[in-house]
């Protein structure tokens, strides 16, 4: 990975201190021309009572990665980003290891962005598919 991409990932990870992303141990690990990948460990702290990854934790991972991607691919000096809608289809359960969320831009408008976010396990098996709509609002 080149130095520029490493710097972006470092800034993303540093911005997660004292946030939900830190609480869930979400780490941004890969960036490309139109995508961002984050990972989250699957431990008892993100389980539902029957011992599998909680769907809400997956949605939090998806929105965290998609929103951070919006910040990266927009002018963060001029805009702040908010998620305005998210949907998730959970396909498979997972009880341990790590999950990876890859947010890929589907539509990059001046105001709204649409993200496709696929959550997979370490074996690249699909766990959940999410769609996130974000809005870029001008800073005043």
Q: Which residues pair with 35 in a beta bridge?
A: 104
Catalytic residue among 27, 33, 63, 98: 63
Beta strands (DSSP E) in 32-111 are 35-42, 79-90, 97-108
Angle CA(89)–CA(34)–CA(65) in degrees, nearest 5?
45
DSSP state of 34: S
Q: Roughly what angle, to the nearest 10 degrees, separates helices 3-14 and 55-73?
A: 130
* Joined tokens for residue 103: 């947010």
63 is catalytic: yes
| Residues with active-site annotation | 63
């Amino acid at each position: 990975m080149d130095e520029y991409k490493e710097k972006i990932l470092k800034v993303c990870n540093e911005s997660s201190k004292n946030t939900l992303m830190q609480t869930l141990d979400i780490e941004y690990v890969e960036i490309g021309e139109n995508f961002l990948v984050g990972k989250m460990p699957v431990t008892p702290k993100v389980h539902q009572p029957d011992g599998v990854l909680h769907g809400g934790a997956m949605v939090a991972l998806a929105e965290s990665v998609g929103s951070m991607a919006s910040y990266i691919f927009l002018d963060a000096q001029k805009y702040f980003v908010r998620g305005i809608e998210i949907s998730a289809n959970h396909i498979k359960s997972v009880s341990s290891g790590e999950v990876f969320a890859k947010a890929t831009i589907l539509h990059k408008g001046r105001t709204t962005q649409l993200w496709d976010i696929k959550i997979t396990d370490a074996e690249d098996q699909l766990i959940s598919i999410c769609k996130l709509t974000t809005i870029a609002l001008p800073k005043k």
